[in-house]
Amino acid sequence: MKKTIAIIGAGYLQRPLVEKAKQMGLRTICFAWAEGAVCKDICNRFYPISIVEKEEILAICREEQIAGICTIASDVAAPTVAYIANAMGLSGNSYESALRANNKYLMRQALAQAGVPCPGYIMVDGECTKGEGANGRRDECTKGEGLQLPLIVKPSDRSGSMAVTKVTDWADLEEAVRRAQEASFKHEAMVEEFIDGREISVEMISCHGTHYALQITDKVTTEAPHFVELAHHQPSNLPADTQAHIFDLTRRALDALGLTCGASHSEYKITSEGRIAVMEIGGRMGGDFIGSDLVRLSTGYDFLQGVIEVALGQTIHPQPQAIAHSGVFFLSAETPQVKEYIDHTNKYPEIVAAEQTDHELHHLTCSGDRSGYFIYRDNKRFEIGEQKHV
């Protein structure tokens, strides 16, 4: 009889995970609302239930006698995965650690207490129009409680650059906080020090508390005000000693958050003076094809398979290799030149996948505004048009 694995989420982000599980001979069940659930047609059984309804999902998982549970690229799903894994005695992060990693304020607190370098920050959880924020102190919304301009404002519990704003004038802070609070599930906004520098992310997988470094990703973004990713490239071109230091920082950060099991995606900023700061850490695989495709293409390590193996309670010993360069470019009003490559993939043997998802090109305020992509694998970093690279 096939083992059953539960997957929280059923949108396009989870499709590679479902397909990999089926390739591994597993029976798959998925949970999500039906709208946009592309996995409902490829999994063995689909349950149209919100991914935050953990008690209802737990009851079904017990009936299904699942052998493991996981998700990829979804911050919202991660606490549900941990809750069910804990309740059923399956492999997974503790529910408490999943909650810490899913809330930027709790995350900052844990990292700061562990001495992991982070931006200065406050959380605003009250009505900004009344001049009240965290702990009821006045003027936090209008003065930033000791923080200096410019500032970054974001929801405490969302991803994909949703409702992220750079504020350069105190008069604009209130509106930025309101926008972030509206996007937040808990109506919370993080106000934090703006760090100007290059952006990277660190891809790791953990098993029984041992953290295995897989890759560092260089990012290209729209810059201010929303910082939406335009491209990702692996491997990073940072010096080897800097990469080793960042891997060590990430291990410390994962220990501080209590993330011991499965994939993690850690985002950093590095200033021109060499300051390194952790911006966010997700207890899940990176989205934008970073975990599902780019790691495998650049290192030969099947990250998806590793996530499933850990969820099933297996012990892993990843050995990634530097075998190629990989990356993804996204189509938008800011990057119309990407369309040429999507339309003529036959001219570019480096391109391994491409799709235009929207015929209209939108200006980017979040990752959901992008209109397509192409993924490449080559013996060097792929360059297109005039797009800036780090």
Same domain, 135 and 207: no
176 shares a domain with 79: no
Residue 113 lies in a domain: no
Question: Does residue 69 lie within any of the structural domains?
Answer: yes
The reply to whether 163 and 248 lie within a common domain is no
pLDDT of residue 337: 97
Residue 112 is assigned to a structural domain of this protein:
no
Domain boundary among 90, 106, 133: 90
Pair 33, 48: CB distance under 8 Å? yes
pTM confidence score:
0.89
- Residue 147: predicted pLDDT: 84
pLDDT at res. 132 = 30
Do 37 and 140 have their domain in common? no
Phi-psi group of 256: left, alpha or beta (phi > 0 → left; psi -120 to 50 → alpha; rest → beta): alpha
Could you tell me if 220 and 135 lie in one domain? no
223: left (phi > 0), else alpha (psi -120 to 50), else beta?
left
**pLDDT of the residue at 157:** 78
Nearby residues of 115 by Cβ (< 8 Å), 6 or more positions away: 252
CB-count exposure of residue 266 (10 Å: 0-12, 13-18, 19+): buried
Rounded CA gap, 341 and 275, in Å? Answer: 36
| Together in a domain, 223 and 372 | yes
Torsion on CA atoms 106, 108, 111, 117, rounded to nearest 10: 180
In a domain, 107, yes or no: no
* End-of-domain residue from the set 178, 193, 208: 193
DSSP single-letter state for residue 342 = H
Which pLDDT does position 186 carry in this prediction? 82
Distance between CA 3 and CA 373 in Å, rounded?
Answer: 34
pLDDT of residue 140: 42
Residue 332 in any domain: the answer is: yes
Name the maximum alpha-carbon separation found in the chain.
63
Identify the pLDDT of residue 141. 44
Task: Give the H or E element holding residue 79.
Answer: helix 78-88
The verdict on 342 and 292 lying in the same domain is yes
> The domain that contains 286 carries what CATH number?
3.30.470.20
Residues of the chain scoring pLDDT < 50: 128-144, 388-389
- The one-letter code for the residue type at 89 is G
202 and 184 together in one domain: no
* 170 and 219 fall within a common domain: no
User: Among 205, 198, 390, 379, which Cα is nearest to 309's?
Assistant: 205
Q: Residue 390 falls within a domain, yes or no?
A: no
Domain-located, residue 215 = yes
Q: What is the spatial distance between Cα 91 and Cα 83, in angstroms, rounded to a whole number? A: 11
- The domain that holds 28 is classified in CATH as 3.40.50.20
Residue 39: exposure state from Cβ atoms within 10 A (0-12, 13-18, ≥19): buried
> Same domain for 177 and 261?
no
Domain end point (choices 193, 219, 244): 193
pLDDT of amino acid 181: 92
List the CATH number of the domain containing 140: 3.30.1490.20
- 189 and 211, same domain (yes or no): no
**Quick one: 245 and 359 in the same domain?**
yes
Question: Which pLDDT score, from 0 to 100, does residue 160 have?
Answer: 61
Q: What is the pLDDT of residue 353?
A: 97
Q: Give the chain's domain count.
A: 3
Range of the domain at 211: 198-378
In a domain, 105, yes or no: no
